Amino acid sequence: MISILSAFWMFVILFGLIGAMRGWAKELLVIFSIVLGLFLIYVLETFTAFIVPFEDILGQVENLSPLASFETLPVPIQDELKVQFWTRGAIIGILAFFGYQTPRLAALREKARREKIQDVLLGAVLGLGSGFFIVGTLWWYMAAAHYPFGPEIMPPQPGTPLGDAALSLLKYFPPVFASNQFGLFFAVVIAFMFVLVVFI
């Protein structure tokens, strides 16, 4: 059995290798697509009943312990948490897919040929960032839903070195910053300004 923290870093490294092959410009668009996905989820949470915050669902359970396992929750709550996780996961997955389907950027391709080493290194760094954004976002949503995929995927165990490291890492994932309206709107504005200035 592998810890969820180790699996997370393995996926991030894999995305870094993909980024090194694709180049920095395409990886930056993937990061921007995840920012757009977080913004879309925020808008749907705020203005529609289609996506419900996890806190509102779990608030229906009396005397809920933060460490309560998914199996101890009432079945209707379990079903709703699964629906909400898969809805968010689908939005992030679809936008990540289209972020990876970026067209060839002709203006940047010639420059990348002249600066191949720099492009590979920067692509790897931004690939690590896109992996952190994609996998970290999905992990955070899974944690907010109380890990609905047991026994295959178990929550980190507090009191163990890997468990404590995993729990502390959860505080730095993109949905935490997306819960801050100013930070989320600022990220969306920066992303679109960058696309307009650099890619168009």
- Measured CA to CA, the distance from residue 176 to residue 84 in angstroms comes to 17
Above pLDDT 90, what percent of the chain?
40
Question: What pLDDT, on the 0 to 100 scale, is given for residue 135?
Answer: 96
Question: What pLDDT, on the 0 to 100 scale, is given for residue 103?
Answer: 61
pLDDT digits (tens, 9 = 90+) for 182-195: 888 888 888 888 87
Task: Give the position of tokens 């944690």.
Answer: 143
Residue 198 has pLDDT above 80, yes or no: no
Q: Are 77 and 60 in contact (CB under 8 A)?
A: yes
pLDDT digits (tens, 9 = 90+) for 55-69: 888 888 777 766 677
Reported for 184-193, long-range contacts at CB under 8 A and 24+ positions apart, including other chains, are 184/38, 184/39, 184/42, 185/39, 187/35, 187/38, 187/39, 188/35, 188/36, 188/39, 191/31, 191/32, 191/35, 191/36
Work out the average pLDDT over 72-99: 92
Q: How confident is the model at residue 154 (pLDDT cuts 50, 70, 90)?
A: confident
Question: What pLDDT, on the 0 to 100 scale, is given for residue 60?
Answer: 82
Q: 158 or 195: whose pLDDT is higher?
A: 158
Q: Are 10 and 64 in contact (CB under 8 A)?
A: no
